[in-house]
Structure 1
Amino acid sequence: MRLFLAVVPPESAIQELDAAVRPLRSLPQGTGLRWTGLESWHLTLAFLGQVDTEQLSALEPGLAHVAHEHPAHRLRLAGAGRFGDRALWAGVSGDTLALRKLAEDVADAARRSGIAVDDRLFRAHLTLARSGTARADLRALAAALADFQGAEWTAGTLCLMRSYLGAGPAHYEAVAEWSLTAEG
């Protein structure tokens, strides 16, 4: 299975961001992009790649422990940015330190289970669009969303997500979920 760990914003936050993003899709800079679907919007904590059943069995208790050790925390989708000319993203504000610590701890749990996780610095974001093979100038789109401030929401669930690739956009489904239960 191709897996990753994530926090999924509530439907209200997704709808709020969609209302701000929808007009950008028809701008000249937005028409050639591959826009991600609302049903796939999430904050990736760690990408695990291909995981076999044995590794998954070893991983799940570690993730349950991590969730038990972390409190729910308040976040909001806010601002935007880009990864060069490859991807447009929405930013995250609020208790991003708690989110970063959660990302670090789930990556450590995966490593302890024998799953290789890359060591890239965690940057909280929600991918909105990708440019594909043709590079795009995403500066104007990022600038148009720079002042976006969504409503605050509680990140209270750690999700183990499965990714299905193929023709068309990727499809994701939750394989397991754990509530963040530590006292804040």
Structure 2
Amino acid sequence: MKEENRPSTVRLFIALAPPDDAKGELERALGPAYEAYPRMRWNRIEDWHITLAFLGELPVAAASLLRAPLAELAAAREPVELAMRGGGHFDERVLWSGIEGDLDGLHLLAADVRALVRECGIAFEERVLRPHLTLARTRRSDTACVIEAAAGLEAFTGRRWPSERLHLVGSNRGRGPGPIHYRDLESWAFAGGAGGAG
């Protein structure tokens, strides 16, 4: 790619990601909704995540500022044990699965992540943490399918799992009506977690 074509900014957020087997449980529970509502903009399963801090559009260099402090934070923290449970929607347009488990630990981790970002001199809009996993979006005219899909998840309870890594993620909204695309810029294992930096 030519230098002049490289983006100068990136949409950044810091997140946790469920392991593949936990995502597989939720994917199976969503089977009827996938079939019934193909027009919904379903997020790719590999992109499912729990946002701890959404930083918004930032210069690409901001990612470099965050790498070492995030690696240090992850190495000092034990994994948080979580599970996906049930479903719901935001404004009848965004379908999500709920998060349960060590929510106190999750909120504490998010607070520490946000404090670290501020200490790095990066300004961002502080949003209230509402732990969830975004699954799909739809147009205002198709809200009934989101409500029905959320109702179909009411009885879902996934297994508990330890959060293995802290992820720094870049996203772009893409062009047209397609889904948002995510790219894991780097991730770091929590103390006692699997693997090294990725």
Q: TM-score range by the shorter chain?
A: 0.7 to 0.9
2:163 counterpart of 1:155: yes
The 8 Å contact of residues 34 and 131 in structure 1, kept in 2 or not, is answered as: yes
Instruction: Please give the alpha-carbon distance, in whole angstroms, between the structure 2 residues aligned to 1:149 and 1:86.
Output: 23
**Aligned letter for 1:49?**
G
Over 3 Å off, 4+ runs? none
Alignment partner of 2:116 out of 109, 112, 121: 109
Superposition pairs of residues 1-184 of structure 1, within 5 angstroms:
1-27=10-36, 30-134=37-141, 136-137=143-144, 138-167=146-175, 168-181=178-191
Query: Once structures 1 and 2 are overlaid, which stretch shifts more, 149-158 or 139-148?
Result: 139-148
165 and 16 in structure 1: CA distance in 2 versus 1, 3 angstrom threshold: same
Question: Taking structure 1 as reference, are residues 145 and 67 closer, same or farther at Cα in structure 2, changes over 3 Å only?
Answer: same
CA distance in 2, matches of 1:147, 1:60: 39
CA distance in 2, matches of 1:171, 1:54: 20
Shift of 1:50: 2.3
Compute the displacement of 1:84 (Å). 2.1
Identity of aligned residues (%): 38
Residue 111 of structure 1: CA displacement?
1.7
TM-score by length of 1: 0.88
Does the 8 Å CA contact 1:55/1:114 hold for their aligned counterparts? no
User: Structure 1 residues 142, 113: closer, same or farther in 2, change over 3 A?
Assistant: same
Moved more, 66-75 or 51-60: 51-60
Separation of aligned partners in 2, 1:98 and 1:56: 25
Flag the 1:140–1:98 CA change in 2: closer, same or farther, 3 A. Answer: same
Q: Which moved more, 1:105-114 or 1:130-139?
A: 130-139
Q: Matches of 1:83 and 1:73 in 2, distance apart?
A: 25
Structure 1 residue 73 displacement after superposition:
2.0
Asked if 1 retains the 8 angstrom alpha-carbon contact of 2:42 and 2:179, the reply is no
Query: Could you say what secondary structure the match of 2:13 adopts?
Result: strand
Could you list the per-position Cα deviations for residues 134-176 of structure 1 after superposition, in whole angstroms to 9, with x for gaps in the alignment?
3503333222101101111110210001113323322222111
Letter in 1 for 2:48: W
- Whole-angstrom distance in 2 between the partners of 1:66 and 1:89: 28
Look up the equivalent residue of 2:137 and give its one-letter code. Answer: R
TM-score by length of 2: 0.82
Question: Which amino acid letter does the alignment assign opposite residue 26 of structure 1?
Answer: E
Structure 1 unaligned residues grouped into runs of 5+: none
Paired residue secondary structure (2:141):
coil
One-letter identity of the residue aligned with 2:168: L
Q: Partners in 2 of 1:156 and 1:19 — Cα distance?
A: 22
Residue type at the aligned position of 2:96: W
Higher deviation after alignment, 82-91 or 50-59: 50-59
Q: Give, in whole Å, the separation in 2 of the partners of 1:53 and 1:172.
A: 15
**CA RMSD in angstroms, aligned pairs only:** 2.0
